[in-house]
Structure 1
Amino acid sequence: MSGFASIGECMIELSGATGDNWRMGFAGDTFNTIWYVRALVAPEYPVDYVSAFGDDPFSGKQRSFLADNGVGIAKSPIISGARPGLYAITLDGAERSFTYWRSDAAARQLASDRQALSASLEGRDIVYFSGITLAILAPADRQTMLEAVAIARQSGSKVAFDPNYRPRLWENIETARTVIGQAIRLADIALPTFPDEKELFGDATPAATAARIAASGVKEIIVKDGTGPALVAAQGREEWVAAVPANAVDTTGAGDSFNGAYLAARLQEIAPAEAAKRAHCVAARVVEFHGALAPMQEAHDAFEKLCEA
């Protein structure tokens, strides 16, 4: 086994507005995560973003951006006439809100070619996806994707999943509970965020979230809680890992960067609690930049220095 695959949607991001001036970039929850995995593993280690792309100029720039930063696209289809989704970030202090234009995004067809999707996941150390990955797909394609992930797991890949519940993307809360529940049962590593789990499942505490997910058979669970400590339930024990103070200017991508740093650490066989500490360090540095993607070197330095600076 070799390589890391992240499944989802890479969008055009408009951020850092000053008056009517905007900075264009590329981002999306599972893409943000793979950005930080790429920053934190060896340059020769294979890292691929599994999605579907259009054939318009913006899609071409998107694919070039991935390639220029060491991220492949495996067997992801290029769909004639399709284009990327887009979102804009507006800030109130460091807190952000989003406006989306994504209803006909190419990534909604990422599971349209079952064979290509399965080939993209073959032989991976870790396959990662999120609730957003599932939410943007048609119901039949959700099942196709979950089947492809299950095959990869049966073949020896570990599966990492962040439920990342976004109510507006789902038909209703019942569907979200059902589909996310299916995904959780495939996961070896779960990376939920407590406020999302409270909203979706009614969990009273992060410990309740960990207990519910553990009952589905997941052996490694990290419950994130914003600037609060993360609960690491793994290897038969529970440990709270404190967050790291930051001079936040934009919290976009904080949880995604935590996930990427955590998974990069686990690929390097760093123990779960230590991996969570490193992940907090990276997330604290990321929120000191505008937009979802902080420079890779900054993330790498935070990961290696373990907040000592």
Structure 2
Amino acid sequence: MAANGVASIGECMLELSGQAGPNWRMGFAGDTFNMLWALHALSGERPATYVSAFGNDPFSQGQIAFFAENGIGIGQSPVIPGARPGLYAITLTGAERAFTYWRADAAARQLASDPDALAKNLENQALVYFSGITLGILEDARRQTLLKAVAKARAAGSLVAFDPNYRPRLWRSREEAQAATSEALAVTDIALPTFPDEQMLFGDATPQATAERLGRQVGEIAVKNGEDAALIAVDGAFQLVPAVHVATPVDTTGAGDSFNGGYLAARLAGHGPAEAAERAHRVAAAVVQVRGALAPFETLRAAFGN
């Protein structure tokens, strides 16, 4: 029987977000961390663990301290002397963002370097979450180590959620990404894809085509599609759940990740998939009205509802 905690696996980076003039604001963000931030805000007293690898530099120490200040631990994630976090900068045109990355030697690429520590971090978790970015930053052998650890946690009772989150620059080829995504789906209970990503990676013509393809491996799917409705598919039955329209978004960074956090928080709280998607849309709508990927906990809770 899995315990009460949640574990999210991946890379949290230093985030530079543009301000007026030459000034930049530094924060911490990354797809799987953004999800965990929202899920943790919405899940009461559930223990939250961010599973990664960290350096021993001041920025890594600041990152770990920031997690702890907000009730998120790192479990037995390795701290590697001489390593450091990756970095990305956000530039905005209106509310739409573009990213520039410096991450080739990021510590998180070693998150599966200690198989025993990785497996220990996933023990007795109610939920284990990872993404296509988690897969994309790992070498082949470490990717297999990760998938074996996730499969072991699932066999022991953890619910596994996966967002394919395709980023072409992380992969040697589209075919490699397709194969790794399919392997991940084989150990997944809830898939949380984004339709434009799936269209780019697999050539799906419609969100329903995405849901039907994923449904051959996964029982529960929520296909995100920006401002359009999310398509919920559970054991072959489909339902559209309209998004919440925001007339003047400030920054769309982290919206999809926050949707995932809201959706999974609702499912862990016992809400059905359609209700979970409604709550997740409200959370995503709140996030696009603040700067950066991480909205204040109070903002997320107010959007999620009781």
TM-score band (shorter)? over 0.9
Given candidates 15, 23, 26, the residue that maps to 2:25 is: 23
User: 1:10 corresponds to which residue?
Assistant: 12
Cα distance per residue 1:119-169 (max 9 Å; x no partner): 000011110000000000111100000000000011111110000000001
CA distance in 2, matches of 1:226, 1:207: 15
Q: Secondary structure at the match of 1:187?
A: coil
Is 1:299 paired with 2:300? yes
Label 1:276 to 1:265 Cα distance change in 2 as closer, same or farther (>3 A).
Answer: same
Gaps of 5+ in 1: none
Partner of residue 272, structure 1: 273
Report the residue type matching 1:120 in the other structure.
Answer: N
User: CA shift at 1:236, angstroms?
Assistant: 5.1
Q: Which residue of 2 aligns with 1:163?
A: 164
Residues 22-61 of structure 1 correspond to what in structure 2 (within 5 A)? 22-42=24-44, 44-61=45-62
Contact 1:16–1:291 (Cα < 8 Å) also in 2: no
User: 1:225: which partner in 2?
Assistant: 225
**Distance in structure 1 (CA, Å) of the matches to 2:174 and 2:234:** 29
Q: State how 1:1-309 maps to structure 2 within 5 Å.
A: 1=2, 2-42=4-44, 44-216=45-217, 218-234=218-234, 237-246=237-246, 247-304=248-305
Do the aligned partners of 1:40 and 1:261 also contact (CA within 8 Å) in 2? yes
Take 1:27 and 1:108, find their aligned partners in 2: how far apart are those partners?
A: 16
Deviation (angstroms), 1:261: 0.4
Instruction: Note the alpha carbon deviations across 1:87-131, whole angstroms, 9 max, x for none.
Output: 000001100000000011000000000000000000111100000
**Cα deviation 1:260-302 (Å, max 9, x = unaligned):** 0000111101100000000000000100011100111100000
Which has the larger displacement, 228-237 or 241-250? 228-237
Give the letter aligned to residue 147 of structure 2.
L
Q: Distance in 1 between matches of 2:49 and 2:249?
A: 29
Which ranges of 4 or more aligned residues in structure 1 deviate by more than 4 Å? none
Q: Secondary structure at the match of 2:128?
A: strand
Alignment check: 8 A CA contact 2:6 2:128 kept: yes
Q: Cα distance, 1:21 vs. partner?
A: 0.2
Q: How much does 1:234 deviate?
A: 1.5
Cα distance in 2 between the residues matched to 1:19 and 1:214: 48
- Deviation track 1:11-45 (CA, whole Å, cap 9, x = no partner) reads 00000321110000000000000000111011x21
Contact 1:17 1:90 in 2 (8 A): no
Q: Name the aligned partner's letter for residue 89 of structure 1.
A: I
Kept in 1: contact 2:241–2:278 (CA 8 A)? yes
AA aligned opposite 2:192 = L
Of 133-142 and 10-19, more deviation after overlay is shown by 10-19
* 1:48-72 alpha-carbon deviations (Å, 9 max, x no partner): 1000010000000000000000101
Amino acid at match of 1:19: G
CA distance in 2, matches of 1:235, 1:102: 38
State the secondary structure of the residue aligned to 2:274: helix
Deviation, structure 1 residue 200 = 0.4
Cα deviation, residue 235, structure 1 = 5.2
Separation in 1, partners of 2:236, 2:302:
31
Distance (Å, rounded) in 2 between the aligned partners of 1:211 and 1:199:
16
CA contact 1:84–1:106 (8 Å) conserved in 2: yes
Contact 2:37 2:261 (8 Å CA) reproduced? yes
> Counterpart of 1:20 in structure 2: which amino acid?
P
Q: Distance in 2 between matches of 1:17 and 1:133?
A: 29
Segments of 5+ residues of structure 2 without an aligned counterpart are: none
Q: Report SS of the residue matched to 2:292.
A: coil
Percent identity, please: 64
Number of residue pairs matched?
303
- Decide whether aligned partners of structure 1 residues 210 and 236 sit closer, same or farther in structure 2, where only a CA change above 3 A counts: closer
Q: Is the 8 A contact 2:215 2:236 kept in 1?
A: no
Per-residue CA distance 1:158-201 (angstroms, 9 max, x = gap): 11000000000111101000001100111100000000000000
